A and B are shown apart, each in its own frame.
Chain A
Amino acid sequence: MTGATRATSQGPERVEGRAKVTGTAPYAFEYPVTDPLYLHPLRAGIARGRIASIDTAAAERVDGVHTVLTHHNADALNPVGDPELAVLQSDGIDFRGQLVGAVVAETPEIAAHAAGLVDIRYERLPHDSEFRDDANIVYTPDADASPMLSPDLERGDVDTALAEATHTVDVTYTTPPEHHNPIEPHAVIATWDDDGLTLHDSNQGSHLVRDLLAPLVGLDKERISVIAPHVGGAFGSKGMPHGHVALTVLAARRTAGRPVKCALSRTQMFELVGYRPPTRQRVRLGADSDGRLTATEHDSLEQTSRFKQYAEQSASASREMYASPNRRVTNRLAALDVPAPTWMRAPGEASGMYALESAVDELAVRSGIDPIDLRLRNEPEVAPVSGLPFSSRNLVACLRQGAERFGWHERDPRPGTRREGDWFVGTGVAAASFPSLLFPGSLATIRHESDGKYRVEIGAADIGTGARTALTQLAAEGLEVPFEAVELRLGSTEQPNAGLAGGSAGTASWGSTVVDAVRAFRAEHGSDPGEGVETTAGAAGNPDLGKYAMNAYGAQFAEVRVHADTGEVRVPRMLGVFAAGRIVNPRTAHSQFLGGMTMGISMALHEHSVVDERFGHVVNHDLAGYHIASNADVGSIEVSWVDEHDPHVNPVGAKGIGEVGIVGTAAAVGNAAHHATGVRVRELPLTPDKFLR
C-alpha cells in the first residue's frame, strides 16, 4: 500500500468526500430524469472512405426503438471549427470508430441490440495509421494556429558545439499512445424542451461546453445549461466536448422533450475522446569535461490526425530546463487516419521530459558525474531562451532535499551490480517542471446569506482534484470567516463564467478570481454586509505576467527492481519533492502529487494503446488489455514539497500541482531500471520482455 507522509495530510477534508463515498454525489449519468431514452452510438468499421449505404429498417422495427439517426436524417449543425463536433454531417469517414449514427431506444439493451441490426456498407479508401518518420505524412505545424506550440528554436551553433563536446549523447526515445481512462466514463444526458437545452455532462468546464454548443446548434447561450458538479476524473479527456455530446444533442432534438442518456463504453473511449499521441524524440546533448551542457538538441515527432490537428510540444521541455549556450528544439507532426489526440495530464511535458531526463541520465553515466550533481551544474540563472528571471525556481532545493530523504549519497553509481535474491536493484532520479498558467476571464459571485454565512459561486470544475475544497478555503480566508461558513457552488453554467479545469491552472485561475471577488465584495459591502447582498467580480490582471518565467518544479526518485530471470519490473519505492508555490490544501495537494506519480509509474511500466495499422484501431481497447498500474504495482510513494513563496505568479501564490507529479516519473523509473540492470530501454513502457537476457 501507499505510504503517505503524515505531515502532509493536513488541511480540510474534501467538502464532497462524504457524499462521494456514500454514493450520494450524482455523476452525469445518474441524474434522476423523467422518462429517459437511451442512445447507443454507431461507429465506423473502416478507417477511411465513405458510407455507401446504411440500412436502418431492421433496427427501426425493434420494439422500443424510438429513432435511428444517421447522416441522412440528422439535423444540420453549424461549423464551429472543431471537426469532432460535426457528427453525422456527411457520409465521410476519417477514422475507425467515428460516429456514424445512433440508435435511441427505451432501454440501453434495446438500443444496443438494435444497433447491431443496422447494416452499413462502405466505400473504402486506403488509410494510413502507422506512426513513423516518413516525409509523406510529416509536416511542421503552424505555431500561430496552435496555442500549445512554440515555433522551432535555434540558438547558437549546435552542430559545432556537439562536435567539440567532451561528452555527447545522441539517443532516440519513443512513447506510445496512451488513453486517459478516468474512472467515470464519458456520459451525458441531454434534454431539449421548451426551456431550451439542458445537459448533465461529465466535463472539465461547463461554460466551455456551452460556449461551443450554442453556435453548433444555433441556440442562444442563455437557453443552454450545462451541469457537472461531480466529475469522476478526466485527465484532459473531458476538456473539450467530444462527438458523443453533439450526437446526444442531435438525438434530444428528436424526442419531444424526453431526456436522452448516453454513456460511452470503455472500448468507445478508445476511439472517441482523445489520447496522448505517440512520440519519437531524438535528444542530442553535448557537455564539457565538467558536465556543463554546451549543446542541447531535442527533436520531437508526434502523431496527429488528418481530420483534426492536435499539436502539443514535447520537445519544448528542453527550451528552459537547463542552461546551454547552443540549443535547437523542433516539433513535427505526423498526420494519420486516426482519432484526434488531445491533452492528457501534462501534455507535452510528460512525454518530453521523459526523453530529456532520460538523456540527462545517459549523459551522467557517460561522463561519470552523479546525475543530481550534473543537474545542479546546469542550473540556469535566468530562463535560458526568454532571458526572463524566474518568479521562483527551486529545483535545486527539490533535488537536494530529495537526495537527503531518499538516501542518495549511499548510491553506488555502477549499473547492474546490486542483487537481492532474484532481483536486480537500482535507483534513479529525474527532474520535473510544469508551467504555472493562469486562464483569465473567470468570475465569482460572493453573497452574504445571513448570520455570517456566505455563498460563493463560480462555474469552475472539480474533476476530483479537490478544487471545491481549496476554493472554499480561499474564500473563507479572504472573508475571514470559518471554513464551514462558506458554501461553494461550482460545476455548472448556473454559476458565473469560469475557465476550464486544465493546465493545472484551477487553483491559480479560479482561486485568484475568488480572492479578488472577495476583496471586491468587502470593498462594496464592508465587513458587516446586509443579508442577501452580493458582488460578482473577476480577477484583477497580474502585472507580473510576461515579466517572469513561471514554472513549478520537482525531483522524482525511484527504486526499481528487475527480476533476473523473468525481466519483471517493480517499483517498491518512490519519492517526489516538489516546489509549487503556496500549497493551499496539503491534504488534497498530497493526493494530486500522489496521483500524478502513480500515473507516472503506470506510464513507465504499463500504458500502451496498441494500434493495429491494418484496421487503424486500438486492439487492446478495454481495461483487461490496456494495463493501468494495479495496487500491487505501486509500492511506497512519499510526497513532500519545499516551502516556496512566490509573490509573482498570482494573488494566491499557488503554482499548478495537478500535472507536475506525472512529469519525470517515467524517466526516474527508467533511469533506475538502467541502474539496476545496465539495460537502457528507450521505448516505453518498460515491459518484462525488454529486460530479458
Chain B
Amino acid sequence: MKPFDYQRATDADSAIATVSRDPEARYIGGGTNLVDHMKLGITEPGKLVDITRLPYDSVESLPDGRVRIGATVRNSDLAAEPVIRQRYPVLAQALLSGASGQLRNLATTGGNLLQRTRCSYFQDVTTPCNKREPGSGCSALEGWNRHHAVLGASERCVATHPSDMAVALAALDADVLVAGPDGQRTVPVTELHRLPGDEPEQDTVLRHGELVTAVELPSLPFAVRSRYRKVRDRASYAFALVSVAAAVEVTDGDITDARIAFGGLAHKPWRATAAERALHGAPATEEAFRAAADAELAEAETLRDNEFKVPMTRNTLASVLRELTQQEGS
C-alpha cells in the first residue's frame, strides 16, 4: 500500500476542484470498495478526499412526486427509509440483499453505484487484466468465469457489475446527478455504466473529478408492486449469479407496463428493454414471461463456466413476474 494524503471535504466546490486538478486524487465514501483496492494494490491514489461530511445525506420527496437520494446516504439508511420501502420496494430489497449489515452501514449511494467489478483476476494484481492494466489481456475470458457476463461483453473484458442497488435503480429509470468543474449534469442511471468494448478500464461515463451528488427516482406509481430477486451461491453475503428487478402494471389480466433489469449478466446493470417490449400488452402467462426472457437473452453469449446463467435468468424472471402478477390480481 502506497502512502497517501487524506482530506475531509467541507464543501463540494473545493472537493471537486481538488480532485479535478490532481489525477492521483480520489473521492472516498464509505471506503468499503476503495480501501480494499488500495490494500490489494489495484489502485494507488496519492490523495483521498472524504465526501461523507458533505450535505448529501438525506432522502427528500420532491413536490412533483420524485424522490431525491443524497449521494452519501448509507445503504442501510436508504433501505430503511419509509418512502423507499413503500413506493419502491424493489430498491429496498436490492439494498438489503447486498453485502452484510456492517458493510451496508458504511456503504454510500454514490460509492455503491461506482463500486468496481468483483472479477477475481481484476482483484489479483498477479494476473493479467485489461480493466486493471489495459492491454495485458483478459484472464477471465478463458479462465474461471462463473460470475462473468453473458450480455454485452467484449473480447477485452467479460466482467459484470456487482451492485444490486444499481439494478433496481436501472429498472426504476433513476437519474444520477453529477457535479463537475464545469457545472452540473444529469445522467440516466442506465447510461452511467459503460459496456466494456475496447476500453474496459472505463467503468462509467464520468470524467475524473466529477462528483455524484444525488440519485433521483421518478414518481412511477406502479413501482409499489416491484420486486428484487437475487440468486446466489449461498443464502446471504454473496454476489448475484443472476438477479432480476421488476415492476409490472397489470390491467384486466394483461401487462400494460413493465420495468425489468438484470444483474450479474453484464458490465452494467442490464435494462431488459426487449423483454419489456415483449411483455407490453401480453397476457400475464407463463408463456409470455418465458418469451420475454428469451427475447432479451437471444443475444446471450456464454463462457466456459456460466452457461447456466441463461436458463437461470429465464426461470428467475418468470418466477418474479408470476409472483408480481399474482399479487396484482389478488
Contacts and interface: CB of A to CB of B under 8 A. Distances in A.
A119 to B, nearest CB: 14
B120 interface: yes
B80 to A, nearest CB: 20
Given A113-B2, A113-B3, A619-B120, A687 B126 contact: no
Given A606-B233, A619-B120, A688-B312, A612 B319 contact: no
Given A627-B234, A688-B231, A619 B143 contact: yes
Interface stretch (B7-15, B55-63, B235-243): B235-243
Interface residues of B, number: 34
A196 B316 CA distance: 64
B231 A568 contact: yes
Contacts of B231: 566-568, 688
Given A688-B312, A692-B311, A630 B319 contact: no
A112 interface: yes
B208 interface: no
A10 B236 CA distance: 32
B32 to A, nearest CB: 11
B312 A632 contact: no
A629 interface: yes
A605 interface: yes
Contacts of A689: 241, 308, 312
B82 interface: no
B235 A632 contact: yes
Given A688-B312, A689-B308, A627 B235 contact: no
A615 B233 CA distance: 25
A101 to B, nearest CB: 15
A416 interface: no
A614 interface: yes
A535 to B, nearest CB: 51
Contact of B319 (A422, A570, A622): A422
A626 B2 CA distance: 27
A615 B312 CA distance: 30
A109 B238 CA distance: 29
A375 to B, nearest CB: 31
B233 A687 contact: yes
Given A116-B41, A610-B144, A633 B308 contact: no
Contacts of B270: none
B136 interface: no
A49 to B, nearest CB: 15
Interface string B208-227: 00000000000000000000
B127 interface: yes
* Chain B, interface SS category: loop
A570 B146 CA distance: 21
Contact of A565 (B2, B232, B236, B319): B319
A24 interface: no
B88 interface: no
Interface in A589-617: 605-606, 610, 612, 614-615, 617
Contact of A627 (B120, B123, B143, B233): B233
Contacts of A692: 308, 311-312, 315
B234 A566 contact: no
A34 B312 CA distance: 57
A620 interface: yes
Contacts of A620: 120, 144
A421 B191 CA distance: 38
Nearest to A97: B126
Contacts of A632: 234-237
Interface string B117-150: 0101101101100000000000100111010000
B120 A566 contact: no
Interface in A404-428: 422
B142 to A, nearest CB: 8
A633 B143 CA distance: 28
A566 B242 CA distance: 9
A45 interface: yes
Interface in B296-330: 308, 311-312, 315-316, 318-319
A625 interface: yes
A615 B127 contact: yes
A169 B103 CA distance: 48
A113 B308 CA distance: 41
A73 interface: no
A566 B312 CA distance: 6
B1 interface: yes
A377 to B, nearest CB: 37
Contacts of A136: none
Nearest to B3: A113
Interface in B72-130: 118, 120-121, 123-124, 126-127
Most chain B CB inside 10 Å of its own CB: which residue of A624, A629, A693: A624
Most chain B CB inside 10 Å of its own CB: which residue of A565, A617, A629, A688: A565
Given A565-B315, A566-B316, A619-B144, A633 B1 contact: no
Interface in B1-28: 1-3
Interface string B235-278: 11111011000000000000000000000000000000000000
Contact of A566 (B2, B142, B315): B315
Nearest to A571: B235
Nearest to B235: A632
Interface string A98-118: 000000000001001100100
B316 A113 contact: no
Contacts of A606: 233-234
Contacts of B143: 612, 614, 619
A619 B2 CA distance: 25
B312 A567 contact: yes
B234 A633 contact: yes
A520 B126 CA distance: 59
Nearest to A605: B234
A631 interface: yes
Interface in A543-561: none
A605 B144 CA distance: 19
A427 to B, nearest CB: 19
Contacts of A615: 126-127, 139
Contacts of B318: 565
A173 B187 CA distance: 51
Contacts of A631: 236
Given A109-B1, A606-B233, A688 B144 contact: no
B1 A112 contact: yes
Given A615-B127, A619-B143, A692-B311, A624 B234 contact: no
B40 to A, nearest CB: 9
Contacts of B239: 624
A647 B71 CA distance: 69
Contacts of B124: 619, 621
A113 B44 CA distance: 11
Nearest to B310: A692
Contacts of B308: 688-689, 692
A617 B231 CA distance: 27
Interface string A361-384: 000000000000000000000000
A621 B118 CA distance: 12
A570 to B, nearest CB: 7
A692 B139 CA distance: 27
Nearest to A620: B120
23 contacts: A45-B126, A109-B1, A113-B2, A565-B319, A566-B312, A610-B144, A612-B143, A612-B144, A614-B142, A614-B143, A619-B120, A619-B121, A619-B124, A620-B144, A621-B124, A624-B118, A624-B239, A625-B118, A630-B237, A631-B236, A633-B234, A688-B241, A692-B312
Given A627-B233, A627-B238, A632-B236, 17 more contacts: A112-B1, A113-B2, A565-B315, A566-B242, A567-B312, A612-B144, A619-B120, A620-B144, A629-B234, A630-B236, A630-B238, A632-B235, A687-B233, A688-B308, A688-B312, A689-B308, A692-B311
What are the 10 closest A-B residue pairs judged by CB atoms, nearest first?
Answer: A689-B308, A632-B235, A565-B315, A632-B236, A565-B319, A566-B231, A619-B120, A619-B144, A633-B235, A630-B236
